[in-house]
Structure 1
Amino acid sequence: MPRPPRRPPELRRRIFRGSEARRLGLLTPSDLRSTGWRRLFRDVYADADIQLTHEVRAWAAGRYAIPPGAAIGGRSAAALHGASLAGLDDPVEVLSVRDFGPVTGLRIRRGPLAPSQVLAVRDGVRITTPLRTCWDLCRWHPAEEAVAHLDVLLARGVLRAPELTAYLAGQRDEPGWRRVSETVALADPAAESPPASRLRVRLVQAGLPPPVTQFVLAHEGRVIARLGLAWPGARVAVEYAGPWHPSREQLERDRTRLNRVLGAGWLVLHVTAARLHDDFPAVVGEIRAALQARA
């Protein structure tokens, strides 16, 4: 029967440097290769009982894997600010004023970083401020991905629209300002899901008029539905259907709600995750045809 891995109490539920654990005599190189520990980055390990997320990996990188002067940025900073959209295995994004690495598991980007653009969180881990995080998200990622993060940050109050507008006004001479401004203009704190945010951005980029997000539909004096994306003038709505399977009770409620929306004279088109990925031009064509027919 295999011997259980050695797990000193001093390291339980902790993230630590392997070299330090060896220096203190807590673990051997063989112990670190056992199932009791997970290697996160070079010389950085975690107790296997810790539930890993991108936020945990980002914090660990900021604590142990990046040099002084660098900061966790982009999607990883957004995750630490509360917009947890990056996947567990996605590279942790780092902004640094000087080159270092490469380091497996990190996506290192070089650029200027003023002290006012950095916050210190738990145990002194440095992350970019919400405003600088927004700037980098818009520069580093496609608009649909950046907006999905911005929608969450705005909805949670981490970013505020007036502050964001003022920040952008002060960055007009910076490279990439136009791209960032155009991306920020697509953000909407009313959005309720990242997939719907991505769909909304792609539809606008495809040339469709901007839809109203989470439109409240009232009919005969009572609210009957909130519609994910809506063009009220044409009474057309689009709803994103993710890869999930509702219960029978939820299916009944959804069908009843849909019947009421149709009864109010609306056309509802559904976009599945598969069609968004594989058949997007046809989706755009269907929505455009519906808007033209019902204008």
Structure 2
Amino acid sequence: MAFRMLGSASEADDAVQEAWLRLHRSGTDEVANLGGWLTTVVSRVCLDMLRSRGSRREVPLDQPDRPEPGSTDPRDVPESAALLADSVGVAMLVVLDTLAPAERLAFVLHDLFAVPFDEIAPIVERSPAATRQLASRARRRIQGATAPRADLMRRRRLVDAFLAASREGRFDDLLALLDPDVVLRADDVAVATARAGAAHGAPALAHELHGPHSVAKVFDGRAQAARTVLVDGMPGAAWAPGGRPRTVFAFTIEDDAIVEIEVVSDPGQLAALEVTFPDAG
């Protein structure tokens, strides 16, 4: 786990050794779940190490003596770099190195080790909902950087079709684009804005909605001013009056169906997103 978080064999060894020392200092009598305790401690140690890293020079990927991503320690050998690359992929490693420490931690713990967000949240000092957003943001950036162009174009066509069906009120077409287990998640600002507009006929919005019918109702006849954008490198949508994103819709797509839509209106969360406007072509 430490190896995948840090991308460095030597730093992973240091993190595990520090956790071992803390375990010996604190004892195990009060620890009900030793595995969970060790996961938490190792994760916090790794988070501190990621935060303390200084800037590193860029090295071309095809350079023969390129150091392992995330490490300039001479103790790291090519065998360890190859092992990690085999386990998570070279492209993912490169993108992981660009993530903020909390994003990287949330992604690795949840997506690679299936640790629940409720357990990750105290480690990164966020709410479970905010922790989920960290992992989603990291996942989008990794997918956007590693997905083939054809896959990105396929996803964009699906988002375009969803927005068109939304604007034109084609409810059945919206349903056809949504996965049977689709989830819509919205932040506090988005929910409050929707409630304020309910008096003017805006659809009801909750922090979390499940199922195609519930999600389609939110978008049916809406999205008039939304446009397709790239959100952290992946096709999404945004309402951006004057070119400034006020609400962003981040889509998770699997097997040609939308499985999750994240609605972000909170200014702080918006500032953390990388939103780009592709040209008309």
With structure 2 as the length reference, what TM-score do the two structures score?
A: 0.29
The higher radius of gyration belongs to 1
Higher strand share: 1
Q: Which has the higher contact order (CA 8 A, sep 6+)?
A: 2
